[in-house]
Amino acid sequence: MGKNKQKIDFHSFYHDLFPERWENLKKALLKEPVKSAYMKGLLKPYYLDEASVMAAMALDVQQGDTVLDLCAAPGGKTLILACQIGTSGSLTSNDRSSLRRNRLKRVISEHIPDSIAEHITVTGHDASRWSLHENGIYDKILLDAPCSSERHVITSPEHLNKWSPARTKHLAIQAYSMLVSASEAVKINGIIVYSTCALSPFENDGVLEKLSRKRKGRFSILHPEFPFGEPTTYGWQILPDTEEGHGPIYIAKIKRVM
């Protein structure tokens, strides 16, 4: 009974958010995620969703850039950033979870040539407190925030049972504090890509809307176009109902202007 009630809550919550799309979205979320081999510059292929590749590519990292990946484990996007900095930049790949950080280190050592790996530092700090220690340092920051991961929740009776509407609101608050921290750690004129695999708009445009409101004039929101997906008010989303199973991925790109 309790379990059924929770299930109805999850479905009705998302039905309210996506009234026209929820039935198709639900079917798409229940299918196996679509992953393909990413190889560019790697010692061996790494399998990830092309929509996740787009999130990492959106940062537009150039050789020589000083880059921070604030929530990096298990490391798919960090591999892409690492190959882009090449042998002249630096990449700090951070994750607070020691278990996931061990996996991140393994992923890096198995996929990245030594000449690039020596430019990567793996750290284990709280992303939301990063700017207490470093301010105005990085050319580019990726914040791939911990999020609702509805695709995972909907296929897991255990997670579905624990789910409540408070979860997305809590995650949105956490993501906002990480984004504020990133926005101080990046250099003036530096770029931040904020991404999630959440469906919930609270964790996506909601976070950007709050930043625009509370830190008015300090950033410009860039609106890059991507090969697939759809624009949102502040960013871009790829949802699996319309994109052949890819996503959910949300991508927003901002520039610090002061």
Q: Which residues are catalytic?
A: 197
Give the C-alpha distances (Å, rounded to integers) separating 104 from 113, 166, 238, 244. Answer: 15, 30, 25, 28
Q: Is 49 in the site for ligand SAM (CB under 6 A)?
A: no
Binding mask 136-155 toward ligand SAM (x if CB under 6 A, else -) reads: --------x-x---------
Q: Is 247 in the site for ligand SAM (CB under 6 A)?
A: no
- From 81-89, 121-129, 163-171, 230-238, span contacting ligand SAM (CB under 6 A): 121-129
Complex with ligand SAM: residue 95 or 139, whichever CB lies closer:
95
Q: 120-123 and 138-144: which strand pairing?
A: unpaired
Q: Is 122 in the site for ligand SAM (CB under 6 A)?
A: no
Locus of tokens 């949300």? 250
Q: Is 181 in the site for ligand SAM (CB under 6 A)?
A: no
Q: Is 76 in the site for ligand SAM (CB under 6 A)?
A: yes
Complex with ligand SAM: residue 76 or 206, whichever CB lies closer:
76
Q: Is 72 in the site for ligand SAM (CB under 6 A)?
A: yes
Where does the chain have alpha helices with state H? 2-17, 22-30, 50-57, 76-85, 98-111, 114-117, 150-153, 157-162, 165-185, 205-214
Q: Is 170 in the site for ligand SAM (CB under 6 A)?
A: no
To ligand SAM, the closest distance from the beta carbon of 60 in angstroms equals 17
Among 232, 143, 148, CA closest to 180? 143
Q: Is 127 in the site for ligand SAM (CB under 6 A)?
A: yes
Euclidean distance between CA atoms 244 and 65, whole angstroms: 34
Supply the DSSP string of 32-80, one letter for each residue.
PP--EEE-TT-SS-EEE-HHHHHHHHTT---TT-EEEESS--S-HHHHH
Is there a contact between 66 and 137 (Cβ–Cβ < 8 Å)? yes
Among 192, 177, 112, CA closest to 146? 177
> Identity (one letter) of the amino acid at 56?
A
Complex with ligand SAM: residue 22 or 83, whichever CB lies closer:
83
To ligand SAM, the closest distance from the beta carbon of 47 in angstroms equals 11
Residue with smallest beta-carbon separation from ligand SAM? 71
Q: Which of 50, 95, 203, 241 binds ligand SAM (CB under 6 A)?
A: 95
Complex with ligand SAM: residue 179 or 208, whichever CB lies closer:
179
- From 2-10, 72-80, 179-187, 241-249, span contacting ligand SAM (CB under 6 A): 72-80
- From 18-26, 73-81, 133-141, 200-208, span contacting ligand SAM (CB under 6 A): 73-81
Euclidean distance between CA atoms 192 and 152, whole angstroms: 26
Q: Is 75 in the site for ligand SAM (CB under 6 A)?
A: yes
Asked if the peptide bond before residue 74 counts as cis, ω within 30 degrees of 0, the response is yes
Is there a contact between 229 and 247 (Cβ–Cβ < 8 Å)? yes
The site for ligand SAM (CB under 6 A) is made up of 71-77, 94-97, 100, 126-128, 144, 146
